[in-house]
Chains A and B, each alone.
Chain A
Amino acid sequence: MQRSGGKNRWLWLAVLFLFVFVAASAFILMGRLSSYLLDDSGAIALIPVQEFSAPDALASNSIPLQQAEQSSLVTKEPAAENHTNTPAAPPAAPGFEASDDSKVWSTDTQVDIFRVSYENGEGTITVHSNDGDRLIAPGTENTYAFKLKNTGNVSLDYTVEVDAFVTPDGTPLPVTGRLSRYDGKWLAGAPDTFADIPALDAAADTGTLSAGRYTYYTLDWLWPFENGNDALDTMLGNAAVDDDLLFTIVIRTVATASLDPEAPGGIIPPVDTGDDFSAALWLALAICSLFLMAVLLVFHIREKRRA
């Protein structure tokens, strides 16, 4: 009996913890979602303020003409004051997010600029790592896109910089690259030109993002298959047998709140007709925990009756 009672207690506790976690998560999510609520500070009041004119007032009251000249029924005008209801501005809540198609960046996030395997135009694998390392070789290339988004409610000033380097230092790697912004601004290279590694290493950009807006960049790199120096390519490939010749690209982003919290900039994201908050999941968890609590309660009552 005691054993059963003790077990039920632990179960009760576990259920309560589960319910608490659900509630805590809901609170956290609601806290984050609040920044996306529409700003209604410029809304027009539904009931307009009305002013009464003297002739209208006189018409509604029977006063002798003689007296009407000396007195007038005039509804006092409302004080000249602002009657529009301006809600207090929400507190500044800056937020910034750098991401690509598959993940949100934190610090030194591993992203997919290079690959383990490459195919040619016919779908034939032409380069493939024998140990899972990401590779570069003559004829390999790739494109990588990343997005910077203002997730807060004030404008942000951002900086994006590229570090591109070869290890060991001084290795004459004939890889080229270019970096462009969504609006056609080229930070390295050009539409028909790839830049060398030092030029890619110097690529940088700054900008401003309004609340809720974003910008994106596209990084391309290429090791030309025919670059007129087969001897160099072969030398590098042979050297790679015994030593790792590495090409590294790091993309750094920094964002700070703008001096002007309403500074313009960035792309307006498409309007979501529905958010992606998975209410069903959390509701299901809440229902499950409540159901479990009810079952345990019934079980507990039965045990008491038997006792």
Chain B
Amino acid sequence: MKKNTMMRLASVLLICVLLTTSTISGTFAKYVTDGSGEDYARVAKWGVTVTSDGVTFDKNYEGTDATKAAISHDNSVESSDEWKVVAPGTTKNATEFSFEGAPEVAYKVDFEITNLALNENWSVDGIEYCPIIFTVEGEKYYIGKDTTITDKATLIKAVKDAVVAVSDSYKPNTPLSSVDVPSVSWEWEFEADTLAGYQSDPKDTALGNKAAAGAAATIELSVKCTVTQLD
């Protein structure tokens, strides 16, 4: 008896489903309606911040420990007016940059020396003399380095080219905090180590005397950092 009941139930179910599907197929055949497709996107994040203290030269420079002890004063070089100064034994980093942001686009970080100028007073007895050494990513550039750097003009060009070469590109979502900031610095050696044979105490003294007489040699150095989206 149970078995017959199950079979009967299954048969009834089968008939019901067949009737239902007949109805459904007719309903599908009459289906006419509208349809819509939609999509949206948000603007990709940029949010890059580059900051720099903008200080390439100083008015005061700290002396060595021995000098401090000898003069009982921290600074071995101090400007007497509003001018910032350079002198034998002074040095400073020219690229103190800090970055923030993680753009959702690929980008390039460019460094560029927008201004590097050495005026006409870098001379002794009418002969050009500039003992300033520029270091870019550990590579030193100075007059007499090689046959390509023989005077101020070629020195300036070599330093500018070296700074441009350290520009780099990054994938989307790379935090700018991980960007390698190239080290660019200048130095006037106290002792002629690198510029042996070119730099000398009498020549350095002559430049100092010219400055005291109001004909100071001047140096201008500006480094710019630009972050640009890559296409």
Residues of A with C-beta under 8 A to B172: 125-128, 130
Q: How many Å from the CB of B162 to the closest CB on chain A?
A: 27
Docked CA distance A6–B31 (Å): 44
Asked if B45 and A9 make an inter-chain contact with CB atoms under 8 angstroms apart, the answer reads: no
Asked if B21 and A27 make an inter-chain contact with CB atoms under 8 angstroms apart, the answer reads: yes
Docked CA distance A95–B45 (Å): 44
| Given known A13-B6, A110-B39, A120-B231, contact A137–B17 (CB-CB < 8 A) | no
Question: Which residues in window 149-172 of B have CB below 8 A to A?
Answer: 171-172
Q: How many Å from the CB of B37 to the closest CB on chain A?
A: 4
Interface residues as binary, B76-104 with A (CB distance below 8 Å gives 1, 0 otherwise): 00000000000000000000000001111
Asked if B28 and A127 make an inter-chain contact with CB atoms under 8 angstroms apart, the answer reads: no
Which stretch of A79-87, A189-197, A236-244, A275-283 is in the interface? A236-244
Docked CA distance A93–B3 (Å): 43
Residues of B with C-beta under 8 A to A105: 35-37
Asked if B104 and A135 make an inter-chain contact with CB atoms under 8 angstroms apart, the answer reads: yes
Asked if B26 and A31 make an inter-chain contact with CB atoms under 8 angstroms apart, the answer reads: yes
Asked if A249 and B39 make an inter-chain contact with CB atoms under 8 angstroms apart, the answer reads: yes
From A146, which residue of chain B is reached at the shortest CB distance?
B37
Asked if A110 and B38 make an inter-chain contact with CB atoms under 8 angstroms apart, the answer reads: yes
Question: Which residues in window 221-276 of A have CB below 8 A to B?
Answer: 225, 234, 236-241, 244-257
Q: Which of B14, B17, B33, B106 contacts A124 (CB 8 A)?
A: B106
Asked if B229 and A109 make an inter-chain contact with CB atoms under 8 angstroms apart, the answer reads: no
Q: Say yes or no: is A16 at the interface (Cβ < 8 Å to chain B).
A: yes
Q: Say yes or no: is B34 at the interface (Cβ < 8 Å to chain A).
A: yes
Docked CA distance A105–B28 (Å): 16
Interface size class of chain A, counting residues whose CB lies under 8 Å from the partner chain? 35 or more
Docked CA distance A109–B36 (Å): 6
Asked if A136 and B29 make an inter-chain contact with CB atoms under 8 angstroms apart, the answer reads: no
Asked if A114 and B41 make an inter-chain contact with CB atoms under 8 angstroms apart, the answer reads: yes
Q: Say yes or no: is A32 at the interface (Cβ < 8 Å to chain B).
A: yes
Interface residues as binary, B106-136 with A (CB distance below 8 Å gives 1, 0 otherwise): 1000000000000000000000000000000
Q: Say yes or no: is A179 at the interface (Cβ < 8 Å to chain B).
A: no
From B107, which residue of chain A is reached at the shortest CB distance?
A126
Residues of A with C-beta under 8 A to B229: 137-139, 237
Residues of A with C-beta under 8 A to B35: 96-98, 104-107, 109, 253
Asked if A126 and B103 make an inter-chain contact with CB atoms under 8 angstroms apart, the answer reads: no
Q: Say yes or no: is A220 at the interface (Cβ < 8 Å to chain B).
A: no
Asked if B38 and A24 make an inter-chain contact with CB atoms under 8 angstroms apart, the answer reads: no
Q: How many Å from the CB of A254 to the closest CB on chain B?
A: 4
Docked CA distance A244–B40 (Å): 11
Asked if A129 and B40 make an inter-chain contact with CB atoms under 8 angstroms apart, the answer reads: no
From A156, which residue of chain B is reached at the shortest CB distance?
B32
The contact sample of 29 A-B pairs, CB cut-off 8 A, is: A9-B6, A20-B14, A27-B21, A28-B24, A28-B28, A35-B29, A93-B30, A95-B31, A98-B35, A109-B37, A125-B171, A126-B172, A126-B230, A127-B104, A128-B171, A133-B42, A135-B43, A136-B42, A136-B44, A137-B105, A138-B229, A152-B29, A173-B43, A238-B47, A241-B45, A245-B43, A248-B39, A255-B34, A257-B32
List B residues at the A interface (Cβ < 8 Å).
Answer: 2-3, 6, 10, 13-14, 17-18, 20-22, 24-26, 28-48, 101-106, 171-173, 229-231
- Minimum-distance CB pairs A-B, first 3: A31-B25, A237-B46, A114-B41
